[in-house]
A = this chain, B = another copy of it.
Amino acid sequence: MARERKATAKDTVSGDPGDGRGTATVAHIGNHRKLGDALLRRVVIEGVTPEVDEGRFPAKATLGEDLIVEADIFTDGTDMISADLMYRRVTDAGWTAIPLEPLVNDRWRARFPVDDLGVYEYTIEAWIDPFLTWRRDLQKWLDARQKLPVEFQIGAALVQAAAGRASGRDGVALHKAAERLASGDTQAALVRVALKLELLELMREYADRTYSTRYEREVPVQVDPAEARFSTWYEMFPRSLWSVPAVRTRRAATAGDRPDPTSASPQARFADVEARLPYVAKMGFDVLYLPPVHPIGRAHRKGPDNSPAAKPGDPGSPWAIGSEEGGHKAVDPALGTLEDFRRLVTIARDEYSIEVALDIAYQCSPAHPYVREHPEWFRHRPDGSIRHAENPPKKYEDIYPFDFQTEDWRALWQEMKSIVDFWIEQGVRIFRIDNPHTKPFAFWEWMLGEIRREHPKVIFLAEAFTRPRVMYRLAKLGFTQSYTYFAWRNHKAELTDYLMELTSPPVRDFFRPNFWPNTPDILTESLQNGGRPSFITRLILAATLSSSYGIYGPVFELMEHQPREPGSEEYFHSEKYEVKRWEVGPEGGLHEVIAIVNRTRHENRALQGNRGLRFHSVDNPQIIAYSKCSDDLSNIVLVVVNLDHQYTQSGWLEVALDGWGLGQDEPYQLHDLLTDAHYTWRGPRNYVSLDPNVMPAHIFVVRHRGDGPEAPR
């Protein structure tokens, strides 16, 4: 009948099962086969994690962390199930299979190490296991002290069938076991044969998988370097002038002691940045991120505080890229030469274990060579002029956006990619991408995919402060890390909700947050008004809630907090538009607290990922408490933060001890890394009190009796 077309969803089993009422047709025979197959292939596999948009995008993993796969695996009735996780590098021919273990409520889990950068894939196979079922029931009958002669006959038949699937020594062993089960020996003797572990293992190996269920997809997983998961960023403008304190390091006698040029110098150069490396390294950062280092356009150049008319000598914004001196593949002569830049990259990596990260901003100043050479790469107005950037009612006359949909898009896209290639050749491995949400999704998927295939170590941070769906899409398309809304999440409920979203599936499987308390564009109201406690609080939240975080310095450690005007998040006399002179002295600033916090991150594996995050209840809305654990629970860090920047707050903290593998009455030691104080607690309920003007937070390393010798100190 007409309704039959698609009367139920696709793949639905339907039609006459064949009662001979004369309705059999070709379609019905097809349905018989499908029905019969669905009847025999009874195991359902669903709810598989990690998986992103049904496998449309790869899930993300990193070296140094096992991939944990979970799935709901179940069937009708009470039969037992066995299940294998199968995984491989996409370049491998064969699969590696490991058993999944049941948790509760039909949830199963397995984990495997990822040893190689690039793409893995995994899938799941599960089957009804009659031997496991028989063995379970046998044990229940025995517990109920039943006599079971018939049961052993049933078991013997199962083992005999497996013997037929096996060969060699295994076949002989199974055959023998079957014979013994059928032998009519005493129940005690038969039970010993039936429950032997070796038999269980052989029966699994030679299980009948004819009607196993194979998960419908081979799920792709992108494996990135460990730095994709755990990184500590420091942003600075290389051109500003610093007075750097003398720091005792290996290089203290050379670059470390060299002061920046005198105030007579118009600005600092790459060579001067070298002198700041000991300071940055001592604070514990491993990424030094520089805003664009290219020649800056002169036409419509912005003056101090983004004023539309620059005076002679005003340096302009580094994001107005391109002048007669070159474009995206050139360095601003005022900063030095390309060789100076390469030298900075090399010294930072080799002597300070710091990667220099570059900013990729796909846009041009009107004087950029591209504008002259490729006018077809830009949008034009009806009068023939090139359209500058605008976001009505704002106009940005100093910026020409590319038209990524130009007729000549292939050449443009290739050129955009070649910019990244160029800087990779100069030694850069980490890129911060400016405003990716204003360029086509398709471009990013192509470009990031190409680069990653050729250079799997390269990391891209997406600077997309836009709507959530767009930020998530960019992460799926291939960005390694992403900026977040952290800067505007201040209250306990806001922080908790946001972190729960970021660390739960599906988001945690494709989006890696990078938390920034400030950036050159973001001086939050909290930092403007909260004083030193606010800076310390936001630092600690960023550094312990997210395994990747960064600060824009030295503004941050100097606690600069004056906005351009009330209500603005722009800095007063922003470094974006002028050369600053910073007194980065050893006194008064936050560099020591920063160093402690970053050392804590480096010494505690729990803080090097976001998987083990868990919030704990405190009966005071101004105090937030959370812990992070390493997968094996050998490293536990508990953080308690007073969110009130003015007053002491106290409350009862309820530690969720079960997540730490601790009994309700077991004592445990806490070592506060900020104050070096030690405490011993017992049980979940403990009193906490924090004075923001002394130290607004605890960062406790938790130790208990169960800790092995590898427990971190």
In the complex, 23 of the A-B residue pairs with CB atoms within 8 angstroms, ordered by the A residue number, are A3-B119, A3-B453, A8-B58, A8-B452, A9-B220, A10-B55, A10-B220, A12-B445, A14-B446, A15-B446, A17-B410, A17-B446, A19-B410, A38-B441, A42-B442, A77-B439, A78-B438, A105-B468, A106-B468, A141-B392, A143-B393, A150-B383, A153-B382
Bound-complex Cα distance A629 to B6 (A): 34
CB contacts under 8 Å to B, within A420-465, are: 437-443, 445-446, 449-450, 452-453
**Contact residue among B382, B405, B438 (Cβ-Cβ distance under 8 Å from A154):** B382
On chain B, the residues within 8 Å of A32 by CB distance are: 410
Q: Mark A1-41, 1 if CB is under 8 A from B, else 0.
A: 01111111111111111110000000000001001101110
Q: State whether the Cβ of A54 lies closer than 8 Å to any Cβ in chain B.
A: yes
Count of A interface residues, CB-CB < 8 Å: 93
Q: Is the CB of A146 within 8 A of B393?
A: yes
On chain B, the residues within 8 Å of A468 by CB distance are: 105-106
Q: State whether the Cβ of A413 lies closer than 8 Å to any Cβ in chain B.
A: yes
| Known pairs A382-B154, A467-B105; A91 contacts B54 (CB<8 A) | no
A71 to chain B, nearest CB (A): 10
On chain B, the residues within 8 Å of A8 by CB distance are: 58, 119, 220, 222, 445, 449, 452-453, 478
On chain B, the residues within 8 Å of A68 by CB distance are: none
On chain B, the residues within 8 Å of A453 by CB distance are: 3-4, 7-8, 14
Q: State whether the Cβ of A112 lies closer than 8 Å to any Cβ in chain B.
A: no
Q: Is the CB of A7 within 8 A of B469?
A: no
Q: State whether the Cβ of A230 lies closer than 8 Å to any Cβ in chain B.
A: no
On chain B, the residues within 8 Å of A140 by CB distance are: 392-393
When C-beta atoms are compared, the residue in chain B nearest to A6 turns out to be: B90
Bound-complex Cα distance A121 to B15 (A): 20
Bound-complex Cα distance A8 to B392 (A): 38
Q: Is the CB of A7 within 8 A of B153?
A: no
Q: State whether the Cβ of A53 lies closer than 8 Å to any Cβ in chain B.
A: yes
Q: State whether the Cβ of A215 lies closer than 8 Å to any Cβ in chain B.
A: no
A631 to chain B, nearest CB (A): 25
**Contact residue among B12, B17, B58, B391 (Cβ-Cβ distance under 8 Å from A409):** B17
When C-beta atoms are compared, the residue in chain B nearest to A18 turns out to be: B410
**Contact residue among B119, B469, B473 (Cβ-Cβ distance under 8 Å from A6):** B119
Q: Which of A7, A75, A383 counts the most B-chain CB atoms under 10 A from its CB? A: A7
A83 to chain B, nearest CB (A): 14
When C-beta atoms are compared, the residue in chain B nearest to A157 turns out to be: B382
Bound-complex Cα distance A602 to B700 (A): 58
Q: State whether the Cβ of A137 lies closer than 8 Å to any Cβ in chain B.
A: yes
Given contacts A38-B440, A54-B54, 19 further A-B contacts (CB under 8 A): A3-B91, A5-B90, A6-B121, A8-B58, A8-B453, A9-B57, A12-B445, A12-B449, A16-B450, A32-B410, A38-B441, A39-B440, A40-B405, A44-B441, A74-B469, A75-B441, A106-B468, A137-B392, A153-B382
Q: State whether the Cβ of A200 lies closer than 8 Å to any Cβ in chain B.
A: no
On chain B, the residues within 8 Å of A154 by CB distance are: 381-382
CB contacts under 8 Å to B, within A57-110, are: 57-58, 72, 74-78, 90-91, 105-106
Bound-complex Cα distance A150 to B384 (A): 11
Q: State whether the Cβ of A470 lies closer than 8 Å to any Cβ in chain B.
A: yes
Q: State whether the Cβ of A118 lies closer than 8 Å to any Cβ in chain B.
A: yes
When C-beta atoms are compared, the residue in chain B nearest to A138 turns out to be: B392
Bound-complex Cα distance A470 to B107 (A): 12
Q: Is the CB of B144 within 8 A of A469?
A: no
**Contact residue among B9, B58, B382, B411 (Cβ-Cβ distance under 8 Å from A55):** B9
**Contact residue among B36, B53, B106 (Cβ-Cβ distance under 8 Å from A470):** B106
On chain B, the residues within 8 Å of A122 by CB distance are: none
Q: State whether the Cβ of A414 lies closer than 8 Å to any Cβ in chain B.
A: yes
A21 to chain B, nearest CB (A): 8
Bound-complex Cα distance A3 to B58 (A): 15
Bound-complex Cα distance A11 to B55 (A): 10
Q: Is the CB of B381 within 8 A of A150?
A: yes
**Contact residue among B13, B18, B391, B414 (Cβ-Cβ distance under 8 Å from A445):** B13
Bound-complex Cα distance A154 to B381 (A): 8
Q: Is the CB of A14 within 8 A of B91?
A: no
Q: Mark A464-498, 1 if CB is under 8 A from B, else 0.
A: 00011110010000100000000000000000000
A174 to chain B, nearest CB (A): 19
Q: Which of A13, A36, A414 counts the most B-chain CB atoms under 10 A from its CB? A: A13
When C-beta atoms are compared, the residue in chain B nearest to A32 turns out to be: B410
Q: State whether the Cβ of A46 lies closer than 8 Å to any Cβ in chain B.
A: yes
A654 to chain B, nearest CB (A): 14
When C-beta atoms are compared, the residue in chain B nearest to A8 turns out to be: B449
Q: Is the CB of B72 within 8 A of A469?
A: yes
Q: Is the CB of A2 within 8 A of B91?
A: yes
| Known pairs A6-B121, A442-B35, A453-B7; A411 contacts B141 (CB<8 A) | no
Q: Is the CB of B56 within 8 A of A11?
A: yes
Bound-complex Cα distance A16 to B154 (A): 61
CB contacts under 8 Å to B, within A117-158, are: 118-119, 121, 136-137, 140-141, 143-144, 146, 150, 153-154, 157
Bound-complex Cα distance A405 to B437 (A): 55
